[in-house]
Amino acid sequence: MNIEQLRADTPAVAQLIHFNNAGAALMPAPVIETMTRHIQLEASLGGYEAAGRQSADLENVYGTIGRLINAQPDEIAVIENATRAWDMAFYSLPLQPGDVVLTSTTEYAGNYIPYLQMKQRRGIEIRVIPNDEHGQVSLSALTTMLEDDRVALISLPVIATNGGPVQPIEQIGALARSAGVLFLLDACQGVGQMPIDVQKIGCHMLAATSRKYLRGPRGMGFLYVEKSLCQNLEPAFLDLHAAALQSADTFTIRADARRFENWECNVAAKLGLGAAVEYALAQGIEPMWLRIQQLAGYLRQRLLEIPGVTPQDPGLQKSGIVTFTHQNHSAAQVQQWLAGQEKRINVSTSTFRSTLLDMQHRDLLEVSRASVHAYNTEAEIDTMVAALRGLQGV
Ligand SMILES: Cc1ncc(COP(=O)(O)O)c(C=O)c1O
């Protein structure tokens, strides 16, 4: 990879060290330029008129996302964030009382809360797939759990918001397919970081966001729904973009995945998402994934050298999200200390509130989260490690 070019495309790296890519990564220049250009067009032409001028580019966004995840353009809906994209899929499922949803200990609270709501509303049952000895979803436990024909859905994140394992999603997908069970994948922390191919994974639905490893703008995301499934899923919300009023008494719902969208959207951000995906594809997802893993491995190894610091990521395969705890300092103190360095270092704090099951399981209340991207460097990691050593005496 051309790291110098990656960094030249990311001007903020001159002023700060950004290890909050799992929160929101730094946008590369082509994304910023695409969005700025469109906002200027809106200012000079009018919002609708600017969108009209960009209609071909807006249409291309679907094909670009499709290339990223190996899907067709009509299987993609552009939705304002991963949560709402996920909701649109989940709440469209015709779950019945007694239906079972299987999830992982690493599930995101934003997804787990809807399971509970559907448990209360419709009487579904939530079952958590146990982990294997490596801390990832146990495939043998999953195989056994799938013998129950009340299982209607497997739904989990490929990478949790608080790090941990990269789940064996291709094996999970294969098990789901052979059991005839739907598989909804939360790829929020996966897209842009690692190869995500819906054909290989075999997931039926996938939700993702723009601002994290894809390096797109905030307030943007997308949903994939397999074509053969799409027309059988009625979105919980409809508007005049998702559906068409045919008479005073009748309407029809669009056939494609855009039935999960709504009409109004941030057009500059939608174009920005398209530019971010183009940029990621131009870098090459495979080399980026290799570099991210290599940097994260280096960071984990260096963290071991610091007295009082414990790396916290289980899993056979780990991602670019590196988490750790400090014996003498809270995650908020670590975050504040690093932000106050001469060259600001951005890390974040992940608490039990976003991944309750996993944190309870591992007896943790919070972790510091340093999430690396391909544009980060070993030298930046060394700077952070030195700064953390400095925290010892404070
Ligand atoms: C695993 C996971 N799923 C879902 C989300 C929600 O994404 P968004 O904030 O785009 O709705 C996050 C955000 O941190 C996440 O880490």
The CATH number of residue 107's host domain is 3.40.640.10
Ligand 1 centroid to residue 125 C-alpha, Å: 23
- Average pLDDT estimate for 246-271: 98
- Average pLDDT estimate for 109-116: 98
Say if residue 249 is in the same domain as residue 295.
no
Ligand 1 centroid to residue 24 C-alpha, Å: 10
Ligand 1 centroid to residue 82 C-alpha, Å: 6
56 token code pair: 């071909």
Say if residue 308 is in the same domain as residue 268.
no
Say if residue 150 is in the same domain as residue 71.
yes
Residue nearest to atom 13 of ligand 1 (CA): 161
Supply the pLDDT for residue 116.
98
Say if residue 121 is in the same domain as residue 60.
yes
Q: Which of 376, 384, 380, 14 is nearest to 213 (CA)?
A: 376
Ligand 1 centroid to residue 188 C-alpha, Å: 6
pLDDT tens figures, 22-49: 999 999 999 999 999 999 999 999 999 9
- Average pLDDT estimate for 315-323: 97
Give the rounded percent of residues in the chain with a pLDDT score beyond 70.
99
Say if residue 95 is in the same domain as residue 156.
yes
Q: How many angstroms separate the CA atoms of 79 and 193, rounded?
A: 20
pLDDT at 393 over 80: no
The answer to whether the CB of 326 falls within 8 A of the CB of 394 is: no
- What mean pLDDT value characterizes the chain? 97
Q: Compute CA distances 363 → 110, 165, 172, 334, 356, whole Å.
A: 21, 17, 26, 20, 10
Say if residue 56 is in the same domain as residue 107.
yes
Amino acid at residue number 85: A
CA 23 to ligand 1: nearest atom: 14
141-146 long-range contacts, CB within 8 A, separation 24+? 142/102, 142/172, 142/175, 143/175, 145/102, 146/102, 146/175, 146/176, 146/179, 146/181
The answer to whether the CB of 221 falls within 8 A of the CB of 208 is: yes
pLDDT at 260 over 90: yes
> With bands split at pLDDT 50, 70 and 90, how would you rate the model's confidence at 336?
very high
Ligand 1 centroid to residue 89 C-alpha, Å: 15
CA 161 to ligand 1: nearest atom: 16
Say if residue 274 is in the same domain as residue 304.
no
Supply the pLDDT for residue 103.
98
Ligand 1: lining residues by beta carbon, under 6 Å = 81-83, 108, 110, 157, 160-161, 186, 188-189, 209, 221
> Domain ends where: 257, 282, 307?
282
**Domain tally for the chain?**
2
Buried b (16+ CB within 10 A) or exposed e, 110-123: bbbebbeebeeeee
Distance between first and last Cα of the chain: 39
> Which of 78, 106, 108 to probe ligand 1 with, by most ligand atoms within 8 A of CB?
108
Say if residue 166 is in the same domain as residue 65.
yes
Residue nearest to atom 7 of ligand 1 (CA): 82
CATH code of the domain in which 11 resides: 3.90.1150.10
Ligand 1 centroid to residue 218 C-alpha, Å: 12
- Average pLDDT estimate for 309-326: 97
Give all strands (DSSP E) within 272-320, no chain letters.
309-311
- Average pLDDT estimate for 321-338: 97
Give the rounded percent of residues in the chain with a pLDDT score beyond 90.
99
Supply the pLDDT for residue 139.
98
Ligand 1 centroid to residue 156 C-alpha, Å: 12
pLDDT tens figures, 375-390: 999 999 999 999 999 9
Say if residue 331 is in the same domain as residue 275.
no
CA 186 to ligand 1: nearest atom: 3
Say if residue 168 is in the same domain as residue 203.
yes
Residue nearest to atom 3 of ligand 1 (CA): 188
- Average pLDDT estimate for 368-374: 98
Say if residue 73 is in the same domain as residue 171.
yes
Say if residue 328 is in the same domain as residue 265.
no
Torsion of the alpha carbons at 69, 169, 147 and 178, rounded to the nearest 10: 40
Q: Which of 278, 384, 386, 236 is nearest to 322 (CA)?
A: 384
Domain hosting residue 55, numbered range: 29-282
Residue nearest to atom 16 of ligand 1 (CA): 161
pLDDT tens figures, 44-95: 999 999 999 999 999 999 999 999 999 999 999 999 999 999 999 999 999 9
Supply the pLDDT for residue 392.
78
Ligand 1 centroid to residue 162 C-alpha, Å: 11
The answer to whether the CB of 227 falls within 8 A of the CB of 190 is: no
Q: How many angstroms separate the CA atoms of 256 and 259, rounded?
A: 6
> Domain ends where: 282, 311, 328?
282
- Average pLDDT estimate for 254-268: 97
> Domain ends where: 282, 300, 321?
282
- Average pLDDT estimate for 307-335: 97
